[in-house]
Structure 1
Amino acid sequence: MKHMIDKIQLYEDVDKCALRIVMIFEAVFLIAESSKVKYSYFTVGQTVLLKCTDGALKLNSAVWTGPAQNGIQKGAPVSVTEVDGKRSKWNVLQYTDDGRVLNNLLHRNRLTVTESYDLQIVNTSTLDEGLYMCHLGQNEVFSRIILKIKTLPSNMTFAYATKEKILHRKENTTLHILCSVQDGIPDSLSIIRNNKTVKSGEGSSLEYIFLPTRLDHGLKYTCEARSSLFKQPLKETIHLDIK
């Protein structure tokens, strides 16, 4: 009789655990749009540490979800809005339960949860690319990180410029100088006018807005992308044609 009671209790515990996991996933997906996406970049074989919070908050529990290993393991779909405003879709599954890495993960031996509930990934590979989400409680705090392999920035372009690399505009009309790279993310992106940086930032695109006059006619603007993978920065230059 006692054996039967123990088995019933075990089934109840398993059911509660399964219900908790389902509730966590539902909460994660419901608030997936509520926090800003961050990006982290790695080279194959590197050790990566993904921060759950900025460190100011002391955690008592946390759950990580991550990529479903490119279809090797079945996951659930999540759609997020990235920094450039575009929506992207990812398949994710639960990686941890508090400080414990789940045993059903094929790459569990490469994952560790720190005391502050950050997620460490060792010997990273292309399979580790994707969306990672740290979820605290049901919906208290939430962070989203898209992990990508470092690649060389390329395909640099200026929006609205001609093939001859000329940007035509009228004086006293707002001018948008928008520089972007399509492949890879540089460490920094800068817009330079006459050897002076007028705008700099991080990410794959950068915009400088101003009101041109006739004095701006013929001026050169250079977009410069710097990366630790480059010996020399990637550059592109245009000329202004102000009427």
Structure 2
Amino acid sequence: MNPEILDRLAALEQQVGEFLPAALERKRGALEPCNWLMGDIRAKAAIDRDQARMSVVEMAEIYVVGDIDDALALNVHDQLEAARLSPGISVFIDSPGGDFDAAVRVHRSIRWHPGTKLAKLGKRCQSAGVLVSLACDQRVASSDTAYMLHLTADLPDPRDRWTMFRHIEAARRLRMTDNLYLNVIADRSGADLAALAIEAAKDEQQSLEWCLAHGLIHEIEAAK
């Protein structure tokens, strides 16, 4: 091919590339608590538990039910604070998803609890709810759990003017969110990032068998 044409194609690719979202990139540890600090938190909880002048629930129940928003994140924080001395927590999740930033706060607050963490999935574990479930070390679904991870989305306000550059900015922001979301899932499940991205792009429910095979859940219980 003519070198001049190749040069023009290269220049065109560079110009177009400036407006495209960055490709997904494998980045580990985005929401992981550091080991030495987590060790300090566990040690302090054990000391406080020994010195407590009250009975401590061995496995405290935490509920994440409904849309994940700022109010729910605050509620979960309060539940975890009340269960601070418990050696373990059982997190019941029944959620269609919600706000990504609120889900990140819930995920982090569960991860930083010093005890063992079990997730029990109810009727729905979808969207941002998946991120919350991955905060737990053991994840058990019911046989009728509707499970869905998918790419993040936004809805422009029709009253605003959305120029091309605003759409591009939104696309880049969504891509960054997708990158964090899928990387955390990959970290906690051991699944391949590309496989997760392909599945999430389908925008449909995953079978529990697929989730089990890819480490997103560890067990499927019969529905009660």
What TM-score, normalized to structure 1?
A: 0.24
Higher share of residues assigned strand? 1
Structure with more contact order per residue of length (Cα contacts < 8 Å, sep ≥ 6): 2
Compare CA radii of gyration and give the structure with the larger one: 1
Q: TM-score, structure 2 length as denominator? A: 0.25
Q: Which has the higher helix share?
A: 2
